[in-house]
Amino acid sequence: MKSFMLPDLGEGLAESEIVEWHINAGDMVTVDQIVVTIETAKAIVEVPAPYSGKIIHRYGNEGDVINIGSLLLEIEEAETADTAEQVSSSISANKKDAATVVGNVSQQSHHVDIDDFWIGGDKNTSAKKLITAMPSARRLAQRLGVDLHVFKGSGPDGLIVDADIYNQCDQQLPGTEVLKGARRTMVNTMAESHHNVAAVTITEEALLVDWLAGEDISIRLIQAVINACQQEPALNAWFDAETMTRCLHSTVNVGIAVDSNHGLYVPVLRHADEYSPKGVRQWLDKTVKGIRERKIGREQLQQATITLSNFGAIAGIYATPVVTTPQVAIVGAGRIIEKVIIKEGQPITVKAMPLSMTFDHRACTGGEAARFIKALVQHLQQATI
């Protein structure tokens, strides 16, 4: 029987969340068959089986956070003719050795690798309370205040793994939620931004006097962002403070902030300037559906050169959106409101879209930001494109 540990999924990230199991204990699997879907801080990844055989046990439930190296599966590897012969020979040899000892001798060995997990317990307690736990699980228990003595782990021979700590934490602290997936990623992203970015927010509003009924707000916003990036490229850029370099992009890759029950995702519409309005809508519908089903790939969340957040679709007029490095700007659109203006000496009511743009003042001047938002407003105030 072979154990399968969670491998490094190529993101350089220690923590992952189990999104969906595709197999159950007792199922037969083949090499490269997808057995589980895992969500890292950057993407959702399908993990294949490393061996063919029968699933003896799977560890962790959907929603559990696990670390690289955590035990995922135990698989009874499918035997070939050669391996069956070797096993038969081994058993025969063991029986001969056992015959020299009075009584029954177990042929099963229990191997404990000190590099895999720590063994510990209260010296004043009996051997029955011996604890076996993964190092990461023990550290996690110390941080969350979980008592390892009061429950049994789900791993082999009661081994305590990270998922057990999270489950016990939920039981010990009612109402406390362990952040996972996209929400966990958001913590690090927002903290990094507030620590590193010299954020300044500028606001404006676009009067939608010439809009026709039924305008697609998302498409109009994306088109306006594309146009503003072309008019003022300083906001369609990446900035690296360590090397003091700025990259102005010739193409526009718009990250679109999407709210979901699982947290905030920002899929990227690459080469957005090459899309037709109909193409943008098709991309949006397909992408939002993928996010809701948690079937979005890592490549769809990378390489944004500027971000758009249409938070006004839910609520809010103005905001201070957070820039995600290495980008230097994010545009936020608030809830469309009605206001009274004077036109040709007469008061009239018009619809207005509040706009908020946060930019990294280390990489952009105030003038560049002002010209960008001016171009944004002018494009939005046009009639249907």
Q: What per-residue confidence (pLDDT) applies to 172?
A: 62
pLDDT above 90 covers a percentage of the chain that reads: 47
Domain presence at residue 106: no
User: Which of 148-162, 248-262, 291-305 has the lowest average pLDDT?
Assistant: 148-162
pLDDT band at 263 (very low <50, low <70, confident <90, very high): confident
- For the segment 329-339, the average pLDDT, to the nearest whole number, is 97
Provide the CATH number for the domain around residue 52.
Answer: 2.40.50.100
CA angle 190–192–195, rounded 5-degree value: 105
Domain presence at residue 261: yes
Domain presence at residue 315: yes
Domain presence at residue 385: no
Considering the domain architecture, whether residues 3 and 126 belong to the same structural domain is answered as no
pLDDT higher than 80, residue 15: no
Considering the domain architecture, whether residues 249 and 350 belong to the same structural domain is answered as yes
Considering the domain architecture, whether residues 357 and 223 belong to the same structural domain is answered as yes
Q: What per-residue confidence (pLDDT) applies to 104?
A: 36
Considering the domain architecture, whether residues 308 and 267 belong to the same structural domain is answered as yes
Does residue 326 have a cis peptide bond before it, meaning omega lies within 30 degrees of 0? yes
CB atoms within 10 A of CB 256: 24
Considering the domain architecture, whether residues 255 and 368 belong to the same structural domain is answered as yes
Considering the domain architecture, whether residues 131 and 203 belong to the same structural domain is answered as no
Measured distance CA(308)–CA(223) in Å, rounded: 11
Most confident option among 37-41, 143-147, 185-189, 306-310: 306-310
Domain presence at residue 104: no
Provide the CATH number for the domain around residue 231.
Answer: 3.30.559.10
Q: What per-residue confidence (pLDDT) applies to 294?
A: 82
Cα torsion 184, 218, 280, 307 to 10°: value is -40
CB atoms within 10 A of CB 344: 5
Considering the domain architecture, whether residues 151 and 231 belong to the same structural domain is answered as no
Considering the domain architecture, whether residues 193 and 143 belong to the same structural domain is answered as no
pLDDT above 70 covers a percentage of the chain that reads: 82
Q: What per-residue confidence (pLDDT) applies to 157?
A: 77
| Final residue in a domain of this structure, among 94, 124, 146 | 94
Q: What per-residue confidence (pLDDT) applies to 333?
A: 97
pLDDT band at 185 (very low <50, low <70, confident <90, very high): confident
Q: What per-residue confidence (pLDDT) applies to 84?
A: 47
Domain presence at residue 100: no
Most confident option among 130-144, 187-201, 303-317: 303-317
Q: What per-residue confidence (pLDDT) applies to 102?
A: 36
| Final residue in a domain of this structure, among 145, 178, 211 | 178
Q: What per-residue confidence (pLDDT) applies to 128?
A: 44
Considering the domain architecture, whether residues 141 and 189 belong to the same structural domain is answered as no
Considering the domain architecture, whether residues 298 and 189 belong to the same structural domain is answered as yes
Considering the domain architecture, whether residues 163 and 197 belong to the same structural domain is answered as no
| Final residue in a domain of this structure, among 44, 69, 94 | 94
* Between residues 86 and 48, the one the model is more confident about: 48
- The CA-atom distances, in angstroms, between 65 and each of 55, 59, 182, 193, 289 are 21, 11, 12, 24, 24
Q: Which domain holds residue 83?
A: 1-94
- Count of structural domains within the chain: 3
pTM for the whole structure: 0.67
Domain presence at residue 101: no
- For the segment 181-207, the average pLDDT, to the nearest whole number, is 91
Domain presence at residue 99: no
- Is residue 304 packed enough to be buried (19+ CB in 10 Å), middle (13-18) or exposed (0-12)? buried
Measured distance CA(371)–CA(72) in Å, rounded: 53
Considering the domain architecture, whether residues 222 and 353 belong to the same structural domain is answered as yes
Strands 268-269 and 254-256: antiparallel
